[in-house]
Amino acid sequence: MMSRRHLIRICFFAISWLAFLQTMQRRSLLLSSSSLGTGAAKNSNTEKEGFSACLFFKDDNERLVEWIAYHFHVLDLRYLVVGVDYNSATSPADILRRWNQTGRIQTYIWNTSDVTPVDKVDGLNNRQNHFDFACLQEMKRVNRSWVTIIDTDEYITFNRFSHGDPTLLELNFSQYATTTRDNLIRARTRLPITGGDTTAYSFIQQESDNLPWAYQSCVPMFRLQFGLRETPISQLEREDDLSLPAGYKTTDYYTTRYFQHRPKGSCNKNCKGKTMIDVSRIPDDHLIHSDYNPHGGATTSCGPHNPVPECNGTLVPDYATSIFRVHHYLESVDTVMSRNIQHGSSKMKKFNWYKGLQSEPELEASYWLKSFVANVGEQEARFLLSKP
Ligand SMILES: *[C@@H]1O[C@H](CO)[C@@H](O)[C@H](O)[C@H]1NC(C)=O
Ligand SMILES: *[C@@H]1O[C@H](CO)[C@@H](O)[C@H](O)[C@H]1NC(C)=O
Ligand SMILES: *[C@@H]1O[C@H](CO)[C@@H](O)[C@H](O)[C@H]1NC(C)=O
Ligand SMILES: *[C@@H]1O[C@H](CO)[C@@H](O)[C@H](O)[C@H]1NC(C)=O
Ligand SMILES: *[C@@H]1O[C@H](CO)[C@@H](O)[C@H](O)[C@H]1NC(C)=O
């Protein structure tokens, strides 16, 4: 509270301007979610358009339901390849078929033997890396453009300015932005609300002549860690933002349940970011795993964080210049134990680091659900979001 007051005093103009902007965006979100008419154009599925994702999967159907619906709505996800680990006791096939059936996302399932050489199957990270490269190659072969490699506990949002942003003091509204850094910071003032009418894919198209899209085929995203401390809805300033359609509970979804996080921009442990990659601009030989081509471009040591040389230098993204950020949610300890994950002890260590994180509530990832249900219609939303 103290530091917020302090900021308001120093930067009163900036904050009230942003607040105004965000109120307008929120208003347009509410309008859009009450008018079903906008859904049709947005959801029309054409093979070439929309975002793509490579997702590695191990016994994670509970989270998969929310993950796909969220990214369908927020990114405009239209093409998804899921690599099922050979230690996974469950299959995501039923959930993926829902999206195929409704014609909203083309989904594909691969398994470990499809993509990992027999002598490389030891180690979850090995299997994931082999899947990632095979998937990126396939995305390029089928002429996709922007692809992201994130996990089922990660949710992409626009990195809009809000409480605790370390960049707020740097932001000014002078007419001239000179450096790349200035331009990127200013690009963040044009960001729409996450889950509203403008998807990540359409935002990138609108901005295709601007930084970073015009010059970068790999764009880094800062990862913001969330904890397990809950914020009672009644304590939120804008309780009505989270009023969900009948039958939906905020506690059923990571994105509408957990809002408290690590300080923005802070990074002492586990700071690696994630990336979005335009495979149409990456040469084929940069998409080959180093097990096959040790002298090639790929940098498997950075695995899913930084797979191609075009991502060089972006392993730990700068918060100030990240157009997107990735909300990284913590699983409850019961779920971690029940899933019997191979690297369980490192999960446990992270669990203890992060479970108590405390902050002002960050609601950016929470607005999508209402507008998703309005867009696809209540009946289809119930089908797509039904428990596995
Ligand atoms: C979705 O449809 C495509 C094209 O018909 C098919 O190849 C794919 O296997 C289907 N995916 C699932 C999960 O059934
Ligand atoms: C993996 O997929 C291949 C086809 O792509 C199939 O022949 C094989 O049976 C699958 N293996 C497992 C373990 O499901
Ligand atoms: C991708 O685009 C190329 C060039 O336009 C075309 O020849 C090829 O058939 C396309 N591939 C797929 C899978 O659509
Ligand atoms: C802030 O103002 C200065 C001088 O007017 C300008 O050079 C700089 O680019 C501005 N920074 C941002 C982030 O707009
Ligand atoms: C990444 O950049 C550094 C510094 O510019 C360079 O030394 C290194 O070779 C680059 N790595 C790759 C894989 O391109």
| Mean pLDDT calculated for residue range 164-178 | 76
How remote is the CA of residue 301 from the centroid of ligand 5, in Å? Answer: 13
pLDDT for 256-288, tens place per residue?
999 999 999 988 777 899 999 999 999 998 998
Query: Whole-angstrom Cα distance, residue 54 to residue 51?
Result: 11
| Mean pLDDT calculated for residue range 105-124 | 90
How remote is the CA of residue 262 from the centroid of ligand 4, in Å? Answer: 28
Task: Specify the pLDDT at position 35.
Answer: 33
Q: What are the residues facing 226 on neighbouring strands?
A: 261
Q: What is the mean pLDDT of the chain?
A: 83
What are the b/e assignments for 77-104, b being 16+ CB within 10 Å?
bbbbbbbbbeebebbbeebbebbeeeeb
Query: Whole-angstrom Cα distance, residue 256 to residue 235?
Result: 14
User: Measured between alpha carbons, how far apart are the two ends of the chain, in Å?
Assistant: 41
Q: What are the residues facing 223 on neighbouring strands?
A: 326
Query: Whole-angstrom Cα distance, residue 248 to residue 369?
Result: 9
How deeply is 229 buried, as exposed, middle or buried, from its count of CB atoms within 10 A (0-12, 13-18, 19+)?
A: middle
The pTM of the full predicted model, rounded to 2 decimals, is 0.85
| CB 174 near ligand 4, within 6 Å | yes
Query: Whole-angstrom Cα distance, residue 106 to residue 344?
Result: 32
pLDDT for 40-96, tens place per residue?
333 334 445 899 999 999 999 999 999 999 999 999 999 999 999 999 999 999 999
Task: Specify the pLDDT at position 172.
Answer: 67
Task: Specify the pLDDT at position 335.
Answer: 72
- Low-confidence winner among 8-12, 110-114, 261-265, 282-286 (lowest mean pLDDT): 8-12
- Residue 190 and residue 23 in contact, taking contact as beta carbons nearer than 8 Å: no
Q: Are strands 154-158 and 146-149 parallel, antiparallel or unpaired?
A: unpaired
Query: Whole-angstrom Cα distance, residue 7 to residue 48?
Result: 45
Banded model confidence at residue 315, pLDDT cuts 50, 70, 90: confident
Q: Closest Cα to atom 8, ligand 5: which residue?
A: 312
**Torsional sign, CA 148, 154, 157, 163:** negative
- Residue with token string 């900036």: 14
Q: State the ligand closest to the CA atom of 109.
A: 1
| Mean pLDDT calculated for residue range 113-131 | 88
Torsion of CA 328, 376, 241, 50, to 10 degrees: 50
Task: Specify the pLDDT at position 220.
Answer: 95
Q: Which ligand 4 atom is nearest residue 182's CA?
A: 13
Q: State the ligand closest to the CA atom of 138.
A: 3
Task: Specify the pLDDT at position 372.
Answer: 96
In single-letter form, the type of residue at position 255 comes to T
| CB 113 near ligand 2, within 6 Å | yes
How remote is the CA of residue 115 from the centroid of ligand 2, in Å? Answer: 10
- Residue 325 and residue 223 in contact, taking contact as beta carbons nearer than 8 Å: yes
With CA atoms as reference, report the closest residue to 193 among 371, 374, 367.
Answer: 367
In single-letter form, the type of residue at position 350 comes to K
**326: helix, coil or strand?**
strand
DSSP assignment letter at 243: P
